[in-house]
Amino acid sequence: MTSAPHQQLSLDSLGEPLHATTFVVVDLETTGGAANGDAITEVGAVKVCGGEVLGEFQTLVNPQMAITPFVSVLTGITDSMVCTAPTIAVAVPSFLEFARGSVLVAHNAPFDVGFLKAACAQLALPWPAFAVVDTAVLARRVLTRDEVPNCKLGTLAPFFHAATTPNHRALEDARATVDVLHGLIGRLGNLGVHSLPELRSFTAQVSDAQRRKRHLADGLPARPGVYIFRDAQGRPLYVGTSRNLRSRVRQYFVASETRSRMGEMVGLAERVDPIECAHALEAQVRELRLIAAHKPRYNRRSKFPERSVWLKLTVEPFPRLSVVREVRSDGASYLGPLRTQRQAEVVRDAIHDAVPLRQCSDRLSLRRAVRAACVLAGIGRCGAPCEGGMSAQKYAALVGLVAAAWTGDVRPLVDPLERKIVALSEAQRYEQAGVIRDRITTVVRACARMQRLSSLQAVAELVGARPDGDGGWDLSVIRAGRLAAAGHAPRGVPPWPVIEALRATADVVDESHVPLAEETECILRWLEEPGTRLADASDPWMMPAFGAGRLRTYLGSGARDAANPFADRRRLQVLARPARASA
C-alpha cells in the first residue's frame, strides 16, 4: 500500500519538541514581487534538525521571461545564468520532494510560500499542507526595539552571529535564516515555548481576552456598514468600516490581527454595534462623522478635523499672510484646509518667494509711512509699503494675484518660482533649486485640493450612480459637498423612482456650513471612480480652466516614489563602448 505524496500533518497534531522537529528553511529569488505575474529564478533550502544540517537544496530556475536590470543588480542573477537552468516544472517538484515531511521556515514566509503555491497551481500540483514558521514574525515577538532596529534578515543575521551574510542569493540567505531560527529558538525556551503547538500559540498573537470575545461577531450582518466597539459604559472605543461587517469584525479575534493596540481594545470591548449602510460610500462617510464626533481612543486618523489650519489674506490696508485655525465671514480670502501648521508655513514661504508681500505684523497706514523698511525690502523680498515704497493700488494688485491663484489660475505663483529653479540650476545650486521645487509642489497641491473641494461644495445638489456589480445601482445624493442621502436600486428595480425618494428624504444642508474636508474628498474619489455616472446636478460641476489641477508634474507622487523597478522589463543598454586599440 502506497501513501499519497507530500502528506503533512496539521500543526495541531505535531506534538514533538522543537529540538526533534525537522525544519526546511527555504528562500527564493524571483523576477519581481507579484506571485501571480512574476516567476522564480532560484530556490535555496537547508534541512535541519536538532541544530544539525541534514541536507541542502539549490537550483537556478529558468523563469521564461526577461530579468529586469534592477533584479539583476540586486541578486546577481542574469538572463545568461538561467537560460539553461531547469524550469519550475522540474525545480518545484524536486523541492517538494526535498521538503516532504518537514516544517517550512522562511523569512517573510508569505512571499516565498506565495510563489511556491502559485507554481503548484500553474503545474496543477496539490499544495502539501506544510506547517509554516515565519522567522520575521517570530523575531517581532521575541526581540525588542532596544535590541534590533528592525526585523530584516540583514539586521538579524549579524545580531545572532550568523556564519553566512545574506546577499540576495537563495542558498546563502537560507543558511543565514537557519542561524536566525536557531537563535530565536534559543530565546523561546526561556519563554516556555518547547513544542510546535506552543510555538503556534506564541506567534498567533491572539490573547485569551481576544478569544473570549469572539461571540461579539455573532449575529452581525454580512452587509456594508460601520461597526462600533463599545466598552462596559457604552463609550465608543473604535469605529471602523467594511463591505462585510461580519467578516471584518471576526478578524479582530484571529491571528491575522497583529496590532497590539487592537488586542488591547478588544479586551476592553463589551459589545459591537453595527450600522448597516446602502453602499461603501455611505459607510465611509458615516465612519468619518462618528470618529470626528466621538473621538474614540483607539482610532488614530480623522479624530481632530478641527485641527486643520488655513492660510488667510488679512483684511487691512496692506494685507499679509497669516496662519489661522478657523474661517470667518470677514471678507478675507482663505486657502485650505491644510493638514498641518508646517504645511501652511511651507505654502506661506513659497508665496513669499513668488510675490513680495510684506511679512511683518505691523499695522500700516494708507496716509503715512510707519517706519523704515526691514532687510527684506533691501533684498527684493518685500515691496516696503511701511515706508511708502509701494502704493496701495500696486500692493492690492499683488494681493489680488495671490487670491486669484488660490481659486483659479495658479500660474502667476508658479512661474516666478520656476524661473528661480532655472537660475539656480544654471548656477549649479541644485540643493536650493530642490527646495524651491518642493515649495512649488506644496503650493500646487494645496491649491488643487482647495479647488477640488470648493468645486463640489459649490453644487447645491448632485446625484451620482455607480454600478454595484450585480446589475443594480448604488445611489448618492450630494448637497454642497456633503452626503445627504444614500440608497440602492437592486437589479430589476428602476433607479429613478429610488432617486426621487432619496431626494425627498435627504438631509437639508446649510450651504454656509463648511463640511468635513475628508468627507468631501471621500465623495470625490467615489465620483471619479470608473463607472460612476452623474445622474443629475442642479449646477454645473466645474473646475478652473487654468487651475492647479492641470499641473500634473507637481501633483504626482514623484518619480522616485512612483518608480516600480519590477515593472521595468527593458534590457540593460550599452551606453558607451571602449575605443579599439590602434596598432
CA–CA distance from 536 to each of 300, 474, 477 (Å)? 36, 14, 9
Contact 445, 451 (CB under 8 A): no
Q: What is the dihedral of CA 462, 463, 467, 473, to 10 degrees?
A: 160
Distance between terminal CA atoms of the chain?
77
Torsion of CA 151, 157, 160, 161, to 10 degrees: -160
Q: Among candidates 298, 266, 249, 417, which has minimal Cα distance to 346?
A: 417
Helix (H) or strand (E) holding 466: strand 462-467
Joined together, the cell numbers standing for residue 422 give 532655472
CA angle 485, 486, 488 (to 5 degrees): 145
CB 523 within 8 A of CB 478: yes
Amino acid occupying residue 118: A
CB 204 within 8 A of CB 261: no
How many Å is the maximal CA-CA distance in the chain?
108
Whether residue 21 contacts residue 52, with contact meaning beta carbons closer than 8 Å, is answered with no
Q: Residue 534 is inside which H or E element, if any?
A: strand 533-537
The active-site residue out of 107, 168, 352, 488 is 168
Distance (Å, rounded) from C-alpha 62 to C-alpha 54? 27
Q: Taking a C-beta distance cutoff of 8 angstroms, is the pair 22, 103 a contact?
A: yes
168 carries an active-site annotation: yes
For residues 272 and 216, the answer to whether their CB atoms sit within 8 Å is yes
Strand duo 132-134 + 225-230: pairing: unpaired
Q: CA–CA distance from 397 to each of 138, 401, 403, 524 (Å)?
A: 64, 6, 10, 33
Residues annotated as catalytic are: 168
